[in-house]
Amino acid sequence: MGRRAHTRALGLWMNGVRVGTWRMAPHSPDTLQYDPSWVQSREGRPLSLSLPFTPGNAPHRGERVRHYFDNLLPDSPDIRTRLARRYQAHSANAFDLLAQAGQDCVGALQILPNDASPGAASVQARPLSVSEVADVLRHATAATTPGFMENDDVRISIAGAQEKTALLRLDDRWCMPQGATPTTHILKLPLGLVGGMGLDLRESVENEWLCAQILAAYNLPIAQCEPVQFDGVKALAVARFDRMWWTAADGERHLIRLPQEDLCQATATAPDLKYEAQGGPGIDRIMSVLAGSMTPEQDKRTFFMAQVLFWMLCAPDGHAKNFSLFIRPGGRYQLTPLYDVISAYPILGHGPNQISPFKVKLAMAVRGKNAHWKMNDIQRRHWVAMGTRHGVITADGQAVEALLEDLVARTPAVIHEVRRQLPAGFPRQLADSILLGLADASERLGG
């Protein structure tokens, strides 16, 4: 292995346009320099609210640069180490990993060698058989790729704590994208037994799908998803809302990457501080960000309703990385659809592989006069106080109490509608625990 350059650089691209350069040198802070033509472009926008365009296009340096790129990668050190082995990266740090796995990041960003370009924008893909998709999923947890993929130069980076991969869905077929073609779906594997307590989340695929149907029934924007199975390997296929099909004047279809970032990136927060209890953003901080959105009232309302429904669903993982922003031209922004919602109702209890209902907490505290974390401690008045403090109103301008009353009033119909959607063979105990828990929480919210 040759000696690495004293200062290393990676090119940053969005939809075939160079937007900047990321540099790293020994004993020096990371540096982000925007391309002058990108700053002046009508489509120009910063990578992040935490990395805005600067007077004179002065570069950004230091931790906020490192945190932005770190948040593009999986949270788990084990998964990072496995990716480093798979892609033969020098190390598992952000620069070395993204130098090898940055061709298809969350949002619009592509990270390439400094002297490379993304290539043709036309859609290029190789269809996969059912058994090949199964192999891709099985190898998502391995340090190597399936043998049939050895000639596919596919380098994908997806943030999060869960084992997952991504594929292209084209003409109702699962495909391996080639060249500069993006993926369209994230495929998430079952979580299995999680943490030191061995919490039983082997049905996380069904759990997340059901929670998504519930949130959609309350008319909250949520990523579309469906359970899939390939040769006995199950996964949740989540449609990427950071991808959009576009047809050119000549009739050729293109797949566009949509710029976005999560709330850790937007607030220059390291990924290991994503929970408020660890020092990450809480409800107040995120509400202040959303106050500057293109659609502030709508986004604050959606975020508030999401927090209430996380409580009603006993969903404890609504941390800052599980909320994101679309970044629009000029640095304007708005909240993306919701994603990654899983209920803890199926694992509440006092036995093995369970968690006590008296210990489960929200990822972000609900603050009235005091901070309230535990699900069992939170009451209607805490939601009223928090919503009132942040000026949350209904779409027709009523106070936050009307929003809560509407959630309560709609819950029986939501439960009925979602039960009707359950496919044959859906785990009955899982569905009952979540839907009965939702009904009980609605009664508590109704006072």
What are the tens digits of pLDDT across the range 251-297? Answer: 888 899 999 999 999 999 999 999 999 999 999 999 999 999 999 99
Is 298:287 a contact under the CB 8 Å cutoff? no
Whether residue 34 has pLDDT greater than 80: yes
Cα separation values, 115 from 21, 25, 29, 72, Å: 11, 18, 22, 22
Per-residue pLDDT tens over the stretch 366-424: 998 899 999 999 999 999 999 999 999 999 999 999 999 999 999 999 999 999 999 99
Q: What angle do CA 151, 155, 157 make, to 5 degrees?
A: 155
**Average pLDDT over every residue of 227-246:** 97
Does 231 qualify as catalytic in the annotation? no
Our measurement of the distance from residue 22's CA atom to the centroid of its chain's CA atoms, rounded to an integer in Å, reads 23
Percent of residues, the chain, with pLDDT higher than 90: 81
Q: Which residue intervals of 176-326 are DSSP H helices? A: 204-217, 263-266, 283-290, 296-312
The pLDDT of residue 447 is 77
- Burial track 283-317 (b if 16+ CB lie within 10 A, e otherwise): bebbbebbeebeebbebbbbbbbbbbbbbbbbbbb
C-alpha 426/C-alpha 207 separation (Å) is: 10
Answer whether residue 1 shows pLDDT above 70: no
Counting residues of the chain whose pLDDT is more than 70, the rounded percentage is: 94
Tell me the pLDDT tens digit for each residue of 70-90: 999 988 888 888 888 888 888
**Whether pLDDT at 62 is above 80:** yes
Enter the DSSP assignment of 345. Answer: G
Query: What 3-state DSSP class applies to 86?
Result: helix
Q: Looking at residues 142-152, what average pLDDT do you find? A: 47
Block residue for tokens 């390439």: 112
Architecture of the CATH domain 259-446: Orthogonal Bundle (1.10)
Residue 92 has pLDDT above 60, yes or no: yes
pLDDT classification of 158: cutoffs 50, 70, 90:
low
Res. 173: pLDDT tops 70: yes
In this predicted structure, the answer to whether residue 227 has a pLDDT above a threshold of 60 is yes
Determine which one of 272, 284, 317, 406 is catalytic. Answer: 317
Q: Where are the chain's structural domains?
A: 8-113, 125-239, 259-446
Maximum CA extent, the chain: 68
Confidence of residue 249 (pLDDT cuts 50, 70, 90): confident
Q: What is the mean pLDDT of residues 421-441?
A: 97
